[in-house]
Chains A and B, each alone.
Chain A
Amino acid sequence: MANGENVVPNLQDRTTDDAGALLNESGFRLGTVVSHGGGEQRVAEQDPAAGTPARLDSAVNVTVGSPSNGWTLWLIFGGLAVIALLGGLAINARMRLARTTAHALTIRPSLDPDGPVSFEGDVTMAGPATHLRTSLEDGEASFEEPGPVIERKEQNG
Chain B
Amino acid sequence: MADGSGVQVRDLLPSDLQIGQTMKETLSKEQGIGAARLAWGVVGSQAADAIKGVLNVDALQLLGSAWSVAKDLHEYTDRTKHPDGERSVVYLGSHRFKKTVYPQLAVTIEPFKPVTLRFALDLMADIRSVALSILNGRITGTGGGDGALGAQLRYGDIALNKLQLRKVGFPGSFAFKDPGIAIL
Partner of B70, one of A103, A131, A135, A147: A147
A3 interfacial contact with B, CB 8 Å: no
0 or 1 for each of B54-77: is its CB under 8 Å from A? (1 = yes):
111100011001111111110000
Q: What is the total number of residues of chain A having a CB less than 8 Å from a CB of chain B?
A: 49
Give the Cβ gap from B72 to chain A, nearest Cβ, in Å.
Answer: 5
Q: B106 within 8 Å of A by Cβ?
A: yes
Q: Which residue of B lies closest to A108 (CB)?
A: B50
What does DSSP make chain B's interface, helix, strand, loop or mixed? mixed
A82-122: CB near B (< 8 Å → 1, else 0) gives: 00000000000000100110011101011100001111111
List A100-157 residues whose CB lies under 8 Å from chain B.
100, 103-105, 107, 109-111, 116-124, 126, 128-144, 146-157
- Across the interface, do B56 and A121 meet the contact criterion of CB distance under 8 Å? yes
Please pick, from A110, A133, A136, A142, the residue contacting B97 in the complex, using a CB distance under 8 A. A142
Q: How far is the CA of A113 from the CA of B93 in the complex (A)?
A: 32
Does the CB pair B107–A131 fall under 8 Å? Answer: yes
B46 contacts A109, C-beta separation under 8 Å: no
Contact assessment for B100 and A116 in the assembled complex, using a CB-CB cutoff below 8 Å:
no
B90/A153 in contact, CB under 8 A? yes
Contact residues in A for B109 (Cβ distance below 8 Å): 103, 129-130
B contacts with A, residue count (CB < 8 A): 62
Does B173 belong to the interface (CB within 8 Å)?
no
Inter-subunit contact A109/B90 (CB<8 Å): no
Distance A110 CA – B49 CA, assembled complex (angstroms): 14
Contact with A along B128-149 (1 / 0, CB 8 A): 0100000000000000000000
CA distance A109 to B46 in the complex (A): 12
Q: When the two chains form their complex, are residues A107 and B49 in contact, meaning their CB atoms are under 8 A apart?
A: yes
Question: Given known contacts A131-B114, A132-B106, A150-B92, what 20 new A-B pairs fall within 8 Å (CB)?
Answer: A105-B42, A105-B50, A118-B61, A121-B54, A124-B53, A130-B43, A133-B114, A134-B50, A134-B105, A136-B54, A136-B104, A137-B103, A141-B100, A146-B95, A147-B71, A148-B97, A153-B91, A155-B88, A155-B89, A156-B86
9 closest residue pairs by CB, A with B: A122-B53, A121-B53, A141-B66, A139-B100, A137-B102, A133-B106, A121-B54, A148-B95, A131-B108
B residues near A (Cβ < 8 Å) are: 36-39, 42-43, 46-47, 49-57, 61-62, 65-73, 82, 85-93, 95-110, 114, 118, 120, 127, 129, 177, 181-182
A-B contact pairs, 14 of them (CB 8 A): A103-B109, A105-B43, A107-B50, A121-B54, A123-B53, A131-B107, A131-B114, A134-B103, A135-B54, A140-B100, A143-B66, A143-B97, A148-B72, A152-B91
